[in-house]
């Protein structure tokens, strides 16, 4: 009789999240995930047909949790300034937890996976959700500006996480000040 593994899919996702975050996409393989979970490689393939699909599932699960948090604060916070600050805080700390998973915003080393339609969709959704919040803060319908501001904020988050990993609060404060300044300038621009 086959061994029943309780919460196997959740165990696989958790271990894969940790390994992709620590080692990156290229250095993580199904064998390492199998060793970390104690679940046979063949069983992992029953849930995920290949490493790319597992990686995409990890990203989707991780970002769906972030999106849920962002939706909650949009419902709870009335002040545009506070909404922006809390958005930055949530994005920063969630991306910090993802470690290597945030690098999907950069082309280096992720060429073949970035061309995947699911990764493109995830990236677009992330930018769109952040642009939506920026739109509500700016009270401006200019989608192109809002998207560029969202992309700038997300990439800046990634850069500060890498450049100053021990300066969490300073990074959040800097990003908040930078975003507020950008938004004020973007609002007054013709």
Tell which residue, 24, 22, 188, 52, has the closest CA to residue 119: 52
Q: How confident is the model at residue 119 (pLDDT cuts 50, 70, 90)?
A: confident
Residues 73 and 111 reside in one and the same domain: yes
CATH number at residue 97: 1.10.357.10
Name the more confident of 37 and 99: 37
What pLDDT is recorded for position 112? 62
Domain identity same for 26 and 42: yes
Cα radius of gyration rounded to whole Å, the chain: 18
**Same-domain check for residues 91 and 7:** no
What's the predicted TM-score (pTM) here?
A: 0.81
Query: Is 75 in the same domain as 168?
Result: yes
Predicted pLDDT of residue 184: 66
Domain shared by 78 and 142, yes or no:
yes
Q: How many domains does the chain have?
A: 2
Contact 63, 51 (CB under 8 A): no
For residue 103, name the pLDDT band (cuts at 50, 70, 90).
Answer: low
Give yes or no: residues 108 and 28 share one domain.
no
Whether residue 131 sits in one domain with residue 106: yes
- Greater pLDDT, 106 or 58: 58
Whether 188 shows a pLDDT value over 60: the answer reads: no
Between 29 and 136, name the one with better pLDDT.
29
Do 86 and 127 share a structural domain? yes
52, two tokens: 């790319």
Q: Domain check: are 26 and 74 in the same one?
A: no
Q: Note whether 95 and 157 are within 8 A (CB).
A: yes
Of 13, 29, 49, which residue constitutes the final position of a domain?
Answer: 49
State whether 119 and 42 are in the same domain. no
Nearest residue to 159 (alpha-carbon basis) of 106, 94, 120, 97: 106
Q: Which of 29, 49, 69 is the last residue of a domain?
A: 49
Is the pLDDT reported for residue 6 higher than 90?
A: no
Indicate the pLDDT class of residue 99, thresholds 50, 70 and 90: low
Are residue 41 and residue 83 in the same domain, yes or no? Answer: no
Per the structure, the complete domain to which residue 23 belongs is given by 1-49
7-42 pLDDT, tens digit per residue, is 899 999 999 998 988 888 888 999 999 999 999 999
Report the distance separating Cα 66 and Cα 87, nearest Å. 10
Query: 123-132: b or e for each residue (b if 16 or more CB lie within 10 Å)?
Result: beebbebbbb
Q: Are residues 13 and 105 in the same domain?
A: no
Looking at residue 22, its pLDDT comes to: 84
- The mean of the pLDDT values for the chain is 85
Domain end (from 49, 65, 84) = 49
CATH for 12: 1.10.10.60
45-98 pLDDT, tens per residue?
Answer: 999 999 999 999 998 988 999 999 999 999 999 998 899 999 999 999 988 887
pLDDT at 104: 59
Q: What percent of the chain has pLDDT over 90?
A: 51
């Amino acid at each position: 009789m086959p061994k029943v593994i309780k919460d196997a899919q959740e165990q696989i996702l958790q271990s894969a999240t940790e390994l992709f975050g620590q080692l990156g996409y290229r250095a993580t393989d199904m064998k390492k995930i199998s060793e970390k979970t104690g679940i046979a490689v063949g069983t992992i393939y029953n849930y995920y047909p290949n490493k790319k699909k597992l990686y995409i599932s990890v990203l989707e699960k991780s970002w769906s949790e972030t999106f849920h948090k962002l939706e909650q604060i949009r419902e709870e916070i009335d002040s545009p300034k506070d909404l922006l600050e809390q958005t930055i805080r949530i994005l920063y700390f969630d991306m910090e937890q993802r470690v290597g998973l945030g690098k999907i915003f950069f082309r280096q080393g992720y060429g073949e996976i970035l061309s995947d339609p699911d990764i493109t969709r995830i990236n677009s959704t992330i930018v769109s959700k952040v642009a939506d919040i920026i739109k509500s803060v700016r009270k401006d319908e200019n989608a192109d500006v809002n998207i560029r501001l969202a992309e700038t904020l997300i990439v800046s988050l990634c850069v500060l996480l890498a450049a100053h990993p021990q300066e969490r609060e300073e990074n959040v404060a800097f990003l908040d000040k930078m975003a507020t300044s950008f938004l004020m300038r973007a609002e007054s621009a013709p």
